[in-house]
Amino acid sequence: MISIKDVAKYAGVSVATVSRVLNNSGYVGQDTRKKVEKAIEELNYKPNEVARSLFKKQSTTIGLIVPDIMNPFFPELARAVEDTAIQLGYNVILCNSDGDQKKEQNYLDILQQQYVNGIIVSSNTLTAAQIVRLNIPVVSIDRVISKGLPTIVVENKKGAMMATRYLQSKGCRRIGHIKGNSSVVNAEERCEGYKEIIGNEPWFDETYIAEGQYDMQSSIQATLELLQRHPDIDGIFAANDIMAIGAIKAAYQLGKRVPEDIAIIGFDGISLSKATTPELTTIEQPIYEMGEKATKMLVSLMEQQTVDQENYKILDVTLIEREST
């Protein structure tokens, strides 16, 4: 790799001067600048980011910690983060925490050792204290860690209310809920939204709620039990799309047609929801926008541009009507 010294020698100037034109800082004469630029060009010189990082005590890298990139929600998020980051001059280190507290702390340590400038994290277990201790900007995405921390989330409760009300409007009389993993904040919020709408119905009690683990398998199980407990259920609001798909499968297993016998609505709007048959009606989160906003927010935090906007954003969700309802 060719270094700043080589460029300096080639251009017949000092490394300091090369550095100045590189960062255009300080005074540099017209001709000198030309010479240096020519040298850079001809030698195809690219500054060593590691050396820069060491001096500046910060890298051009950000960390992205997600529970599991295989969970269909996260690839789109990751894509948005990476797209935005590269555009702003940053790289993204991908970390899969499995929602495990120890792994998360481990990644935090590692990222700090790598001098990453900032971190975007989707976690249920991380505490505000852990984050503050890091001393670098962190944006929490999809989940609220603490009201004081920069955050991007969506209207979970409102979305859940929309979903439930929509099922009612479609004529559903008994609406069950497949709830997400209760250690996840947004699962609670979505459940609250559901209860907000049907909590006062005379038929309602807690047995209309079954808990899944935000994955397909657990949802099939949960739905099977739910429908056996309450064969009269004609509508299901699942707390995410994967579980909604599981619910559809379970309904089929019991010989019910979707949407004729039972209407099913999901939450998230992952691309998978368009690939199923029937296509899934869902509450769509602006996933890409979340990643983009989070990254922009993080970068302005990192670059200390006084964050002109609020750094706690609650994004809106949209009902996407498809075939499962």
Of the ranges 69-77, 124-132, 194-202, 313-321, which one interacts with a second copy (CB under 8 A)? 69-77
- Told to check if 252 binds a second copy by CB under 8 A, we report yes
Residue number, 5 or 102, with CB nearest to DNA: 5
Q: How far is the CB of 268 from a second copy (least distance, A)?
A: 13
Please check whether residue 133 is in contact with residue 105, taking contact to mean a CB–CB distance below 8 angstroms. no
Q: Is 164 within 8 Å of 281 (Cβ atoms)?
A: no
Number of Cβ within a 10 Å radius of residue 205 = 10
Candidates 8, 28, 39, 95: give the one binding a second copy (CB under 8 A): 95
| Cα 101 from Cα 240, distance rounded (Å) | 23
The structure tokens 């001067």 sit at 17
Identify which range of 19-27, 85-93, 141-149, 164-172 contacts a second copy by CB under 8 A. 85-93
Place of tokens 């500054």: 47
Cα 264 to Cα 250: distance, rounded to the nearest angstrom:
11
For residue 154, the 8-state DSSP code is: E
Q: What are phi and psi of 319, to 5 degrees?
A: -80, 125
Could you say which of 10, 20, 71, 210 contacts DNA (CB under 7 A)? Answer: 20
10 touches DNA (CB under 7 A): no
Of residues 41, 42, 49, 201, which one binds a second copy by CB under 8 A? 49
The length of the chain, given as a count of residues: 325
Q: Which of residues 204-263 bind DNA (CB under 7 A)?
A: none
What is the per-residue burial (b if ≥16 Cβ within 10 Å, else e) of 77-98?
Answer: bbebbbebbeebebebbebbbe
Could you say whether residue 271 binds a second copy (CB under 8 A)? yes
Choose the binding region for a second copy from 180-188, 190-198, 224-232, 245-253 (rule: CB under 8 A): 245-253
Alpha-carbon distance of 14 to 301, in angstroms, equals 34
Residue 61 binds to DNA (criterion: CB under 7 A) = no
Q: Does 19 bind DNA (CB under 7 A)?
A: yes
Judged by CB under 7 A, the stretch of 6-14, 100-108, 143-151, 191-199 that binds DNA is 6-14
Q: Which of residues 107-146 bind a second copy (CB under 8 A)?
A: 109-110, 112-115
Return the structure tokens found at 174. 């008994």
Residues that bind DNA (CB under 7 A): 1, 3-5, 12-17, 19-20, 22-23, 25-29, 31-33, 47-48, 51-52, 54-57
